[in-house]
Amino acid sequence: MTPYEIIARKRDGRELSAEEIQFFVRAFLAGEVKDYQMSAFLMAVFVRGMTDREVSALTRAYLETGDVMDLCDLPGLKIDKHSTGGVGDKVSILLAPLVASCGVVVPMISGRGLGHTGGTLDKLESIPGFKTRLSVQEFKKLLKDHGLAMMGQTEEIVPADKRIYALRDVTATVESIPLITASIMSKKIAEGIDGLVLDVKVGSGAFMSELNRARELARSLIRVGKEFGKQVVACLTNMDQPLGNKIGNWLEVEECLDGFHGKAPQDLMDLTYRLAAHMLVLGRKAGALEEAQEMSRAAIASGRAFQKFLELAGAQGADVSVLEKPEAYPVARFRVPLEAWKAGYLSRMHTREIGLAAVELGAGRLRAEDPVDAQAGMILFKKVGNQVQKGEPLLEIRTNKETVIEPVVQRLKNALVITEHPPVQQPLVLEEILR
Ligand code: URA
């Protein structure tokens, strides 16, 4: 068995054995399979796909390159949530403390912004002092003391995914169901969880723009999760417009702070309550979704969820005073409105373009090593279906880079569609797959 033969077999649409997949992944990490060979393999998988057996073997091969956390000594079920990535998706920051405040242990390992999508880690790091680089021991201690911990992927957790993801990002092989499945599920299984709620995004701001592809992805993720003994449910949710009204690292934290006081936009609150309800049911804190949804609302209304967030942020080194008085946070130097160029209804938002505009403003990165600007981003004043008057502000951009203002305004203008008639409104939760 040589790397060449394995690539050729996949290129020709043949099924690889678990041994071949394991050999290839291991040899890549050992430096015996080169980046260009792995890139060819990834493209062959992208084009030819993989059978269920191959996807399971790839997930296992990834998993075996790192450690699996053992959380058995912590009492109770450990439940996490994972989103496949979107624009303005800040749910984790609101959701994890909420669910932990209801007694479910939440070990959350999050990622950074990727392409047009934002990442929870970048958002958390916009809070002064918030430490996301933790050792496994620190992570476990936080879970023991607070029932919640939020950190980034470490060298010990699925190193194969870290290296392979970087190649996928630059070889146009991200949007592959087998590759996404192995990438997400290996990391989640390595967390030592008992159950997982997946938020599979669908639409112009998601990696899967069509419902049937997103459904296929959700089924693949659930199938692999079950094979590894995890309880997994999936919500397919709308990403044809950004979630909430704020995009950008600190701006999104600010919107979550509103959420902790029950004052965030409706779509953000509704999705948070729904995902929380699934986590509470999986964590056996509620018998049914309706009851769990009520528990979630009560956790916000009583201030318990916010207290848990402050407790966690303090334990992870953050300056909590800024979370209590967010108005003290510095604001970007340039604030520029985009005004409606005609009257009508905002009927479409090309969400990937909006995400890329946020990246250009400084909120995301073009290369993995780029820094992000915590203050950059935008605030939406109008969402799909809203009526607009000519000259009315649709949004405000915020940046510290004067040179990007003009191209970004133009890009955003092209990303928004105003029509004479109102659009048909899409539901936020499109589908739920519970088994
Ligand atoms: N998120 C991941 O962690 N991996 C993917 O492949 C896509 C989204």
Q: In the predicted model, what is the mean pLDDT of residues 255-261?
A: 98
- Ligand 1 centroid to 159 CA: how many Å? 14
Does pLDDT of 80 surpass 80? yes
Residue 174 or residue 312, greater confidence: 312
Question: What would the pLDDT profile of 374-409 be if each residue is shown by its tens digit?
Answer: 999 999 999 999 999 999 999 999 999 999 999 999
pLDDT value at residue 169: 82
Q: What are phi and psi of 226, to 5 degrees?
A: -65, -40
Residue 386: what are its φ and ψ, rounded to 5°?
-75, 145
Give tens-digit pLDDT for 139-188: 999 999 999 999 998 888 999 998 998 899 888 898 899 999 999 999 99
Is the pLDDT at 114 greater than 80? The verdict is: no
* CATH code (residue 286): 3.40.1030.10
Nearest atom in ligand 1 to 174's CA: 6
Provide the CATH number for the domain around residue 13: 1.20.970.10
Which residue's CA is minimally distant from atom 6 of ligand 1?
180
CA 85 to ligand 1 centroid distance, Å: 8
pLDDT band, very low/low/confident/very high, at 111 (cuts 50, 70, 90): confident
Final residue before a domain boundary, out of 306, 324, 342: 324
* Range of the structural domain that residue 252 is part of: 79-155+162-324
Whether residues 298 and 341 fall in one domain: no
Q: Is residue 61 part of a domain?
A: no
* pLDDT of 435 above 80: no
Check whether residue 300 and residue 345 sit in a common domain.
Answer: no
118 against 374, higher pLDDT: 374
* pLDDT of 153: 86
* 25-40 mean pLDDT: 97
The ligand 1 atom nearest the CA atom of 168: 6
Domain boundary among 324, 345, 361: 324
Asked if residue 104 and residue 38 are part of one domain, the reply reads no
CA of 121 to the centre of ligand 1 (A): 14
Confidence band (pLDDT; 50, 70, 90) for 202?
very high
Domain count, the chain: 3
320 and 202 housed in the same domain? yes
User: Is residue 55 assigned to a domain?
Assistant: no
- The residues, ordered by sequence, that sit 6+ positions from 312 with a Cβ below 8 Å of its Cβ are 96, 97, 100, 142, 146, 148, 149, 150
Query: Would you say residue 294 lies in a domain?
Result: yes
Q: Say yes or no: 231 and 301 in one domain.
A: yes
Same domain, 237 and 361: no
| Residues 310, 266 share a domain | yes
Residue 432 lies in a domain: no
Q: Within 6 Å (CB) of ligand 1, which residues are found?
A: 84-85, 111, 179-180, 183-184
Residue 335 and residue 318 share a domain: no
Give the CATH number for residue 403. Answer: 3.90.1170.30
Whether 433 is covered by a domain: the verdict is no
Nearest CA to ligand 1 atom 1: 84
Question: Stretch 38-57: mean pLDDT, rounded?
Answer: 98
* pLDDT surpassing 80 at residue 62: yes
Per-residue pLDDT at 386? 98
Percent of the chain with pLDDT over 70: 100
CA contacts within 13 A on the Cβ side of 22: 10
352 pLDDT band, cuts 50/70/90, is: very high
Domain-located, residue 405 = yes
Task: Assign 320 a pLDDT band (cuts: 50, 70, 90).
Answer: very high
Q: Looking at the domain assignment, is residue 73 inside a domain?
A: no
Task: Indicate whether 84 and 171 sit together in one domain.
Answer: yes
Which pLDDT score, from 0 to 100, does residue 396 have? 98
Residue 431 Cα to ligand 1 middle (Å): 21
Q: CA 350 to CA 107: how far, in whole Å? A: 33
The mean pLDDT value of the chain amounts to 96
Same domain, 313 and 350: no
| Mean per-residue pLDDT, 293-306 | 98
Same domain, residue pair 130 and 186: yes
Return all residues near 341 (Cβ < 8 A) that are at least 6 apart. Answer: 390, 413, 418
Tell me whether residue 17 is in a domain. Answer: yes
Q: Quote the CA–CA distance of 348 and 196 in Å, as a whole number.
A: 32
Residues 119 and 240 in one domain: yes
